[in-house]
A = this chain, B = another copy of it.
Amino acid sequence: MTDALTDKARAEALVELTGWSLVPGREAITRTYAFASFADAIGFMVRAAIHADRIDHHPEWTNVYRKVHVTLTSHDIGGLSQRDVELARILDKLT
C-alpha cells in the first residue's frame, strides 16, 4: 500500500524537486518541461512512459507542441506519496 507523505517529507521533497510546485487546491505536484522541438517533447514522453510503466506509476501529462505539462499524484491514496517523488526524480533525470 502506498503511504501518503508526512508534512515533513512533503516539504523536503518540494525543496529537493526544483521546478516542481504544488497544484493549487489539489494534492498533486506539477512541472512544465520545454524542449527544442515537438519531436524532442514526444521523445521525452516515450522514454518517460517506459520508466513510468516499469514502476507502475503514471503521470497525467499534456503535450502542446514543444512543451510537456506533467502532474503527479497518487490516485490510490488521493494525495502525494513517495512514488510521486520517485517519478519526478526520474523525469528530471531524463531531461
Contacts and interface: CB of A to CB of B under 8 A. Distances in A.
B58 A60 contact: no
A62 B67 CA distance: 12
Interface in A27-61: 38-39, 42, 45-46, 49, 52-53, 58-61
Contact of A58 (B46, B49, B65): B65
In the complex, the count of this chain's copies comes to 2
Contacts of A63: 45, 59-62
A91 to B, nearest CB: 14
Nearest to A61: B63
Contacts of A94: none
A43 to B, nearest CB: 9
